[in-house]
Structure 1
Amino acid sequence: MERHHDAVIRAVEERDIRFVRLWFCDVLGSLKSVAISPEDLETAFTEGIGIDGSTIEGMTRAYESDILLRPDPGTFQVLPWRGDTNGTARMLCDVLTPDGEPAASDPRRVLRRAMARAEAQGVEYFTHPEIEFYLFEEPYTEGEPLRPVDHAGYFDHVPRASGQDFRRTVIQYLEAMNIQVEYSHHENGPGQNEIDLRYADALTTADNILTFRTVVKEVALSMGQYATFMPKPMITSPGSGMHTHLSLFQNGKNAFHEPGAEYGLSRTARQFIAGLLRHAPEYTAVTSQFVNSYKRLWGAQEAPSYVCWGHNNRSALVRVPYHKPTKGTSSRIEFRGADSATNPYLAFSVLLAAGLAGIEGEYDLPEGAEDTVWQLTDRERRALGYEPLPTDLFRALEIFESSELMAETLGEQVFEYFLRNKRDEWQRYREQVTTAELETTFSRI
């Protein structure tokens, strides 16, 4: 570890780095940052940098406001958009209490702890996200319509379109920061894009997503545009999901793969899927954490609304993609319930906990869905046993609050703060009189 510290300090000197940004996130997944000078690096590594956490969402209570940020030297990267001279670098941080213990409120710690539980059972946890977002000509202004940067559609190739230049620049910056990209393309909605990150262990992926969001917003602003990861910015256009491929590895082999089994899925994989399904209503408040998230979930257009799984069925909550029979490492499952605004540390934690509960409890996997679930009638869905996901944030929080699995996975402090913050959001939402209400009732009574 000390050699990592020394390597970072040498890199700062050799690459003319003038500022080092220490990154961490709050309980909702919003990036937080404090800049230090190179002279303070040694102190940051050995003692941590003290800040007031009392005004950061869910980080501390007012009477215990002090926290320490200790940078993870393995996450050191130069920020390419800041230039080659007098440069700026960043490191992700672990949040500590003043006595140097891991802070219970740190989302990164929540995921570390969840992964440690999996490792204690002999498995490693990998994720691969497909992240969707929208590009608009300018930020939202009250009373003004949103103007997407284009009106293209799914996989459209638009000659000389700004979206192509945008995606190319984003990918160049990400790869300069050692974040590998697998695919990128235009999505279904006007101005909607998708960039898929290559699979990695879940903690690295969550760190990469935090960086990815920052890169996307920085590049958009540099091009005179505005990027948003809001789940459903336009009601008539598709929402932005973060479909995530999940897999477990044991002794270097894919624990989800079994040669000759149906879809190549092992018993472990089937139990993991069963856990995701059984506990889905409990964790939906985390994977779809905003009031607006439920406009995406219940807006059709490939967003999953019902608890079911299927092979290559894009209307299912869990999809089993086609796998190459000769390539065992390709066996995986795709969770389609998360949106692009989720906190990746918490989302990956609760999905892992649900899947492991399925393995530990030896849950039976129900029959897979072969039909497009949205096109079935309510009676048909009930007959097939497809239960709905929570229809709004209020209902999701009711189920979340009663879940022992969620409380145990997130820890008391994160669990209680998340619940309190989301209840406040719901209350603020209820207090609004919307344009839709005025249009439907103002002149009718």
Structure 2
Amino acid sequence: MNSAPSRAERAAQARLAAARLTGEGVDGVATSWVDNAGISRVKTFPVRQLEHAAEWGVGAAPCFDVFLLDDSMTSSAFSQGPDGDLRLIPDLDRLVPLAAQPGWAWAPADRYAQDGTPHPGCQRRFARRMVAAAGRRGLTVQAGIEVEWVLTDATGAPATTAPAYGLHRFADLSDYLRDVLRALTEQQLTVLQLHPEYAPGQFEVSVAPEGPVGAADTTVLVRHTIRAVSARHGLRATFAPALTPDGVGNGGHLHFSLWRDGQNLGHGGPGPHGLHPEAEHFLAGVLEHLPALLALGAPSVASYLRLQPGRWSGPFRCWGLENREAALRLIKGSTAGQANAEVKCFDATANPYLMIGGVLAAGLDGLDTGKPLPGEVNGDPAALGTVERLPAALAETLAAFEPSVLLREALGAQLHAAVLAVRQGEVELLADRTPEQIIAATVDRY
């Protein structure tokens, strides 16, 4: 992994970037991070302040580590009260003008302490550490996160009730979808698919895979762009996992592939469906730790309204080739480069950096221990009656996450404590709510 640029190097890069942005009519820069509740937070500043922000950072309180979804705060052993400050350093390599918000640019931020040392609670840095851990083993990872959303009008009703996956739905909102496509493309993102989904008013977009940290950055940018385009059309987009107690909600499926020396280890190997032994062990590690990983990938109380059998949400702890009810779906693809695995049980209340970093930590543990991959499951796991169900509530997930030595060591004590405190706080916050009330508390937050 390349060393981080120095303050002087960041300042020099920022001067060039500011001149370019000014020439493109950009007035302000938004730099954002994602908290442990999965909410994207932001600070903005004028373009002329970009050099100072890149060199010295923008202030942000450490209490954001323990914000809950409703903006109330809990506490952990490391995050208590109003004291302290952090610095947000925008990553200028991801700096981009926002196509749906003329005059603004965006960059994701890394978080540092006042003395310039990395903040132990920085989720983006956690993902980067896990990428480096894979690199030390000679491995690279390509990843992408599907983005699903439901579009509603000013009354909260679906913007279209045309049929699922239907051409009718595309016709109803073709101008809107064109503008989403244009904005993403102008921001240098490669869109693979953009199409209607199952639930009323639901759509999905997939972009090209990239490195894990880049994939998480892109997910933040894609969701923000969809929100901005929706607002310009007088509509609202929600990425929440549940909109009705008995309906299909929004997922945030993680796709990933493991590579060594330019070879996709999910293709051309001696194992099932072409898996190489390293890929088998990696997938086995993900399955082994999946109940605890749900605290990072399906982290909200509302997540478990979605994670139900029969909704293709992956509620069963198993894997299978193209099995959409299995938590881990293997995809062969039509070419060697397309072979990948999909974690279906995750959703968009997740902090994408935590989600990706956790999966890498689990997979590398499986690789290091030589964990055998269990047999695949074909057909509906519920009908078999022998396949383990994943936790059905966030409290059950925390019973697996809290004692996980692997995730505590991977996250570090401070980040692990903050994540646990936020999850416990939200369980308590929503403990007496009905499903409808849980949805109402969640739907406009994501």
Match of residue 113, structure 1, among 100, 119, 129: 129
Give 1:20's aligned amino acid.
V
Q: From 199, 204, 213, give the equivalent of 2:214.
A: 204
- Of the two, which has the highest radius of gyration? 1
Structure 1: tracts of 5 or more residues without a match: 140-145, 437-445
Output the CA distance in 2 between the equivalents of 1:15 and 1:60: 41
Query: Contact (CA 8 Å) 1:27, 1:106: kept in 2 or not?
Result: no
**Aligned residue in 1 for 2:84:** 65
Judged with a 3 Å threshold, the aligned counterparts in structure 2 of structure 1 residues 226 and 402 are, in CA distance, closer, same or farther, namely: same
**1:35 pairs with one of 32, 38, 44:** 44
Of 227, 231, 248, the residue aligned with 1:217 is 227
Q: CA–CA distance in 1 between the matches of 2:159 and 2:190?
A: 26
Match of 1:369 in 2: 377
| Structure 2, unaligned runs of 5 or more | 68-77, 438-446
Structure 1 residue 417: Cα displacement: 1.3
Counterpart in the other structure of 1:90: 106
Q: Is the CA contact 1:291–1:425 (under 8 Å) kept in the aligned structure 2?
A: yes
Q: Give 1:338 deviation, angstroms.
A: 0.6
For residue 302 of structure 1, what is the aligned residue in structure 2? 312
Q: Secondary structure of the equivalent of 1:354?
A: helix
User: 1:138 maps to which residue?
Assistant: 154
Aligned-partner SS, 1:62? coil
Q: Which amino acid aligns with 1:94?
A: D
Please state how far the C-alpha of 1:287 moved relative to its aligned partner: 0.8
What does residue 351 of structure 1 align with? 359
Deviation at 1:25, TM superposition (A): 2.0
Match of 2:396 in 1: 395
Partner of 1:407: 408
Q: Specify the alignment match of 2:298 in structure 1.
A: 288
Pair 1:250–1:6, CA change in 2 (3 A): farther
Instruction: Map Cα deviations across residues 217-247 of structure 1 (whole Å, 9 max, x no partner).
Output: 1111221211111101112321211222111
CA offset at residue 73 of structure 1?
Answer: 1.0
| Residue identity in the other structure for 2:52 | T
- CA distance in 2 between counterparts of 1:51 and 1:131 reads 28
Offset, 1:151: 1.6
Compare 161-170 and 287-296 and name the one that shifted more.
161-170
Deviation at 1:259, TM superposition (A): 4.7
**How much has 1:318 moved relative to structure 2?**
0.9
Pairwise CA distance, 1:359: 0.7
Question: 2:162·2:168 contact (CA, 8 Å) conserved in 1?
Answer: yes
In structure 2, the CA distance between the partners of 1:274 and 1:52, relative to structure 1 (3 Å rule), is: closer
The residue type equivalent to 1:421 in the other structure is: V
Q: Does 1:332 align with 2:340?
A: yes
CA RMSD of superposed structures (Å): 2.1
CA distance in 2 between counterparts of 1:433 and 1:419 reads 23
Distance 1:124 1:398 in 2: 31
Distance 1:340 1:285 in 2: 13
What amino acid sits opposite 1:418 in the alignment?
V
Question: Which deviates more from structure 2 when the two are superposed, residues 233-242 or residues 100-109?
Answer: 233-242
Q: How far apart, in 2, do the equivalents of 1:43 and 1:429 lie? A: 41
- Cα displacement (A) at 1:435: 7.3
1:138-217 aligned within 5 A: 138=154, 146-158=156-168, 161-217=171-227
| One-letter amino acid matched to 1:73 | L
Deviation of residue 183 (structure 1)?
0.4
**Percent of matched pairs sharing the same residue:** 27
Residue identity matched to 1:14: G
Q: In 1, are the aligned partners of 2:29 and 2:104 still within 8 Å (CA)?
A: yes
Structure 1 306/433 Cα, relative in aligned 2: closer, same or farther at 3 Å?
closer
- Establish whether residue 248 from structure 1 lines up as the match of residue 258 from structure 2: yes
1:370-396 Cα deviation digits (max 9, x unpaired): 1211333xxx31xxxx22111101111
TM norm structure 2: 0.88
Check the 8 A contact 2:242/2:303 in 1, yes or no: yes
Structure with more relative contact order (C-alpha pairs < 8 Å, separation 6 or more): 2
Match for residue 240 of structure 2? 230
Which piece of structure 1 moves more, 1-10 or 277-286? Answer: 1-10
Give how far 1:261 is off: 4.7
Amino acid at match of 1:18: D
Contact 1:294–1:393 at 8 Å: present in 2 too? yes
Matched, 1:311 2:327: no
CA distance in 1, matches of 2:328, 2:185: 30
Report the number of matched residues: 418
Distance of aligned partners of 1:205 and 1:55 in 2 relative to their CA distance in 1, 3 Å threshold: closer
Identify the residue that residue 266 of structure 1 maps to in structure 2.
276
Which range is displaced more, 358-367 or 53-62? 53-62
Structure 1 residue 260 displacement after superposition = 5.9
